[in-house]
Structure 1
Amino acid sequence: MKSKKILAMTLALGLVAGTAGAMSRPVTLADQGSFFAGGKVVTAPGVYKDDEPTNFAGETLHGDAAYVFWQAPVKAKKNALVFLHGYGQSGKTWETTPDGRDGFQNIFLAKGYKTFIVDEPRRGRAGNSTVPAELKAQPQDQLWYDNFRIGQWPDYYDNVAVPRDAESRAQFFYQMTPDTGKFDVQVVADAMTAVMEKAGPGVLVTHSAGGGPGWLTAAHSDKVKGIIALEPGTFPFPKGEVPEVEATTSPFPAPGMKVSDEEFQRLLKIPMVVYFGDNIITGSEPDKHWGLDNWRVRLNLARKWEQVMKKHGGDVQVVYLPDIGIKGNTHFLMADLNNQEVADTMEKWLKDKGLSK
């Protein structure tokens, strides 16, 4: 074990020396590794014959598992942080930022947390799907740019906290990655429940479309001790209390997510906080720019969910970051120029809830 620790420390120091801006200070690792969790096995009809390997009869396919890369600093805190990305993304979301600064993976390692970085099923390094998909080389950078509230292409919002050089913009676009099978909330939630069983007790940190399966994971795994959700796309409501879908100019409506009474009761037992960034139009009036209106209706839905959860005794909080003086954030709070400030806010919440020990 001693030699492993020495090697781990050498790797951490190598990051400091070899990558400008990445790993702002050395972190000594006790261990690291990777694994797959969840998934299923399907078998093709027929009988496998080892002298006919390409007819695939009777052969098996392992797919729909999540891929996880984890690191443990020396004297890690009891509760780990498990990071689940959003739509069009992979675990890269949480790693080094497009302009080469520390991402949440490094920031929270330095704070003493064991980190688990997930690629959800049918995405990134977990690309083996049990259902087919047609991958299209679809130009859509500008769609994401507008929807992620960086600006209205090719311009930036005046206050937006992002690097504005061409290379950083290119690095951001390159991290987009396609689904290798249809996105299925239940498939992701099942895999994430298995991830939590392997990771042990921890706080689940979700982003965007990772929010939906994140709620279900917490409802089915007692290993989830809290949730930090960064701009989730939907929210869980009990039967009979799902709000009507609000009209929007966005092509992506924001429906609530109905969960069973048992699932809802489990969610009431853990603390949860939701963070939204800047440049979100508030109120009930639709905005003509769909990229802004898409987040207006989601913030409105979040506040309705907060009221329902609190009515039932839940420990939840929806935070609009400009209200607490953190300004300029895009949809990618973990990579913006003020991501350290966002991380500090998250850690304060962890401490307040007794989850940082």
Structure 2
Amino acid sequence: MAVKNLLPLAGAVLLAVSVSACTSDLSSSNHNELITLVDQGTFSAGGSVIEAKETYDPYHPKPEGMTLHGDHASVFYQIPQNARTLPLVFLHGAGQSMRTWQSTPDGREGLQNIMLKNDYAVYLVDQPRRGDAGRSTVAENITATPDDQLWYGQFRMGLYPKRSPNSQFADGEEALDQFFRQMTPNTGAFDQNVISDAMSAVFDKISEKGGILVSHSQGGGPGWLTAMKNDKVKAVVSFEPGSNFPFPKGEAPEPMENNGFFGKVAAMEVSMDDFMKLTKIPIIIYYGDFIPTAPTHDPHQDFWRCVLKMAIAFADTVNAHGGNARVVHLPEIGIYGNTHFLFSDKNNHEVAANLLAFLHEEGLDRR
């Protein structure tokens, strides 16, 4: 059942709305092109309930007599006029929320609007225990620990305060301030199974015809699990997934040593039956610039060196089992300067054009 039937707009008919991207004094982009929407809204999917252990007493409320609904995904969706058959379902990475896909740190249009203008319905997800889906069933101690400069390096913007040479990350201190302020903490422990269960519920809710999963970074691991759990995932687009690439038992590479701060880059083993589900759908994986081919003393870049090697091994394994997976390292196709956030860098339209070409080539852009 489609979401628009579950969440009707006021009145008996859908309302067509023309909107443009938010204007910003940070932006020099042209935001005048209109997007005509026939539906938009929000909903939750998946999750669990901590049941009451005692009868509720409204005059003396206590936790044992009450329930807690949590660990669901929170979804914001927009459906354009004449939408293509398969929508895009976006899952963010570590420290991020659905804001990842929205306006860029310097106020240009993000992948959300770019894909809407290309007639794709978009479903932006906050994963369980993050952002608008912050209601967790497990406790978490959230500390105010300064870490901006660590992530600046880990996301390959440079070694703070220097920018990587010819970086495509947005210019100026205001853009960097905006980027730091879009980060948000976990309200419960990161759990790939909890996230993938909720993501599977999202796919069950949005369309009987399925959709295309678009993940980023830490969202890559739950993304592979989601595709293995639900055949409504018709393709996977993954921007710079990190560890937790799935391999059939007995075929996973050894964990890869590096000079980074997050330990060895390791794979996860799954059953052959589950792995074979990934061979039935098109998969494309993107990586940006500033990833060396040989070991380096830069801890951030050395981590990504091993991740890229693991991604290539994963794609090779998928293809060896009859699948259709590819890794696109942007500098190798003439697209330079991209950070870990390649879909919101200054050349994000160029990156999006490559994605659109992939969707067309694989027949995923049909109406």
Same fold, judged at TM 0.5 (above): yes
Deviations 1:38-87 (A, max 9, x none): 0000024333211112x222200000000000000000000000000000
Who is 1:291 aligned against? 300
- Deviates further, 17-26 or 180-189: 17-26
Deviates more, 1:142-151 or 1:55-64: 55-64
Work out whether 1:241 is the aligned partner of 2:248: no
Q: Deviation digits for residues 7-44 of structure 1, max 9, x if unmatched?
A: x22xx048469995484511010110110000000024
The separation in 2 between residues aligned to 1:22 and 1:71, in whole angstroms, is 21
Mapped to 2, the partners of 1:196 and 1:39 lie a distance apart of 14
Q: 1:344 aligns with which of 339, 342, 353?
A: 353
Are 2:336 and 1:313 aligned? no
Q: Please give the alpha-carbon distance, in whole angstroms, between the structure 1 residues aligned to 2:23 and 2:149.
A: 34
Task: Output the CA distance in 2 between the equivalents of 1:325 and 1:269.
Answer: 30
Q: Which of 49, 57, 73 in structure 1 is aligned with 2:57?
A: 49
Q: In the alignment, does 2:200 pair up with 1:193? A: yes
The equivalences for 1:159-170 within 5 A come to 159-170=166-177
What is the letter of the counterpart of residue 272 of structure 1?
Answer: I
Letter of the structure 2 residue corresponding to residue 264 of structure 1: F
Matched, 1:149 2:160: no
After TM superposition, give the deviation of residue 205 of structure 1 in Å.
0.3
Which residue number corresponds to residue 39 of structure 1? 47
2:107 partner amino acid: G
Give the residue type in structure 2 aligned to 1:241.
E
TM-score by length of 1: 0.95
The one-letter amino acid paired with 1:148 is: F
Identity percentage of aligned residues? 47
Which amino acid is the alignment partner of residue 121 of structure 1? P
Is residue 101 of structure 2 the alignment partner of residue 94 of structure 1?
yes
Distance 1:115 1:19, change over 3 A: farther
Question: What is the correspondence of 1:1-357 to structure 2 with a 5 Å cutoff?
Answer: 4-6=14-16, 8-9=17-18, 12-13=19-20, 15=22, 21=29, 23-53=31-61, 55-200=62-207, 201-234=210-243, 235-252=245-262, 253-283=264-294, 286-357=295-366
Write the distance in 1 (CA, Å) between the matches of 2:21 and 2:214: 28
Contact 1:78 / 1:356 at 8 angstroms: preserved in 2? Answer: yes
Contact 1:67–1:125, Cα closer than 8 Å, also in 2: yes
User: Residues 16 and 25 of structure 1 are in contact (CA less than 8 Å); yes or no, is this contact kept in structure 2?
Assistant: no
CA shift for structure 1 position 265: 1.2
Report the Cα distance in structure 2 between the residues aligned to 1:51 and 1:85, rounded to whole angstroms: 42
State the TM-score, normalized to the length of structure 2: 0.92
The answer on whether the counterparts of 2:25 and 2:107 sit within 8 Å (CA) in structure 1 is: no
One-letter code aligned to 1:49:
D
Q: CA RMSD in A?
A: 1.7
Label 1:36 to 1:13 Cα distance change in 2 as closer, same or farther (>3 A).
Answer: same
* Distance in 2 (alpha carbons) for counterparts of 1:44 and 1:251: 42
Cα shift at 1:342: 0.5
Verify the 8 A CA contact 1:24 1:102 in the aligned structure 2.
no
Partner Cα separation in structure 2 for residue 241 and residue 195 of structure 1: 31
Give CA deviations for 1:316-336 in whole Å, capped at 9, x if unaligned: 001100111111100001110
Q: Distance in 2 between matches of 1:203 and 1:118?
A: 13
- How many pairs does the alignment contain? 351
Unaligned segments of structure 2, at least 5 residues:
1-10
CA distance 1:346–1:13, shift in 2 (3 Å): closer
Cα contact 2:91–2:213 (8 A) shared by 1: yes
Distance in 2 of aligned mates of 1:290 and 1:79: 39
Q: Deviations 1:214-264 (Å, cap 9, x if unpaired)?
A: 001011111111000000013110000111011111121210121122211
Q: Which runs of 4+ in 1 moved over 3 A?
A: 1-6, 13-24
Deviates more, 1:263-272 or 1:119-128: 263-272
Listed as ranges, the gaps of 5+ residues in structure 1 are: none
